[in-house]
Amino acid sequence: MQLVPRPTLYHLLYNVFFMMRRVATIFCIFFMARVPSFQIGCMMWMTTFWMGYALSVRPFEDPALNKLEVNNELFYNLILLLCFTFTELLQDVGAKTETGYAFIAFLLLLLAINIGVQMKDTFKLIVLKMKRNWMLYKQR
């Protein structure tokens, strides 16, 4: 039996930090719209900070969820990095198109990973419930 470490204040404040990040994201979207490069940089900084938080604190009891959180932040950071090419920094339309394809590929890969994890967890839950129901049926 694995002992679950006692949660620290950083574990308990996960939801507060999560909501603060959402508010900061909204702030970036609405109030920095005129400076897209700074907006993307600010979002990348928040993503890097959140990834560091997830790596150091490991806010979830399940190690797989902690890994998924870091994976999501890594992909989000890569996607934000690609967003710089959609600003005035790059004038070549062909390069923007190629970057757009990479952007879509990263998003689809991230979505596939998250759906795969959800399907795996749902399948495990279904199997456990079926075993439990089978045992209850055999006991009758």
Number of domains in the chain: 1
Give pLDDT tens digits for 95-139. 899 999 999 999 999 999 999 999 999 999 999 999 999 999 999
* 1: in domain: no
pLDDT score recorded for residue 5: 66
Query: Average model confidence (pLDDT) for the chain?
Result: 91
Instruction: Provide the percentage of residues in the chain whose pLDDT is more than 90.
Output: 73
Assess if residue 3 is contained within a domain: no
**Does residue 4 fall inside a structural domain?**
no
Which conformational region is residue 62 in: left (phi greater than 0), alpha (psi within -120 to 50 degrees), or beta? beta
Largest CA distance in the chain: 73
| Torsion sign across C-alpha atoms 98, 101, 107, 113 | negative
Query: What confidence category does residue 4 fall into, taking pLDDT thresholds of 50, 70 and 90?
Result: low
Per the domain annotation, does 89 fall within a domain?
Answer: yes
Looking at residue 34, the DSSP 8-state letter turns out to be: T
For the cut 80, the answer to whether the pLDDT of residue 84 exceeds it is yes
In a domain, 81, yes or no: yes
Q: Look at residue 2 and tell me if it is in a domain.
A: no
Quote the domain boundaries for residue 96: 9-139
